Amino acid sequence: MTVIGADKVMRKLSKLERRVKDQVDAANRKSGEELVRTAKVLIPMGADVEKDGRERDKITGTQNPDGSYLVDFGPKSKVIEGDRGPRPFVNPALKVLRKKHGARVRRAVNKAVKESFSG
What local confidence, expressed as pLDDT, does residue 52 receive?
A: 58
Percent of the chain with pLDDT over 90: 28
- Which range scores top for mean pLDDT: 1-15, 31-45, 97-111? 97-111
Domain boundaries, the chain: 32-118
Angle separating helix axes 6-42 and 91-118, nearest 10 degrees: 160
Mean pLDDT rounded to a whole number for the chain: 80
The rounded distance, in Å, linking the Cα atoms of 50 and 20 is 43
The rounded distance, in Å, linking the Cα atoms of 106 and 74 is 30
pTM above 0.75, yes or no: no
Judge whether 112 and 23 are in contact, CB under 8 Å: yes
Average pLDDT, integer, range 35-42: 85
- Cβ within 8 Å of residue 16, ≥6 positions away: 112, 113, 116
Average pLDDT, integer, range 64-84: 68
Average pLDDT, integer, range 33-52: 74
- The 10s digit of each residue's pLDDT in 78-99 is 545 555 555 667 778 888 899 9
Q: Which pLDDT band holds residue 24 (cuts at 50, 70, 90)?
A: very high
Choice between 69 and 79, residue whose per-residue pLDDT is larger: 69
- Find, among 61, 81, 63, the residue nearest to 71 by Cα: 61
- Cβ within 8 Å of residue 116, ≥6 positions away: 12, 13, 15, 16, 19
Question: In the chain, which ranges are continuous DSSP H helix?
Answer: 6-42, 76-79, 91-118
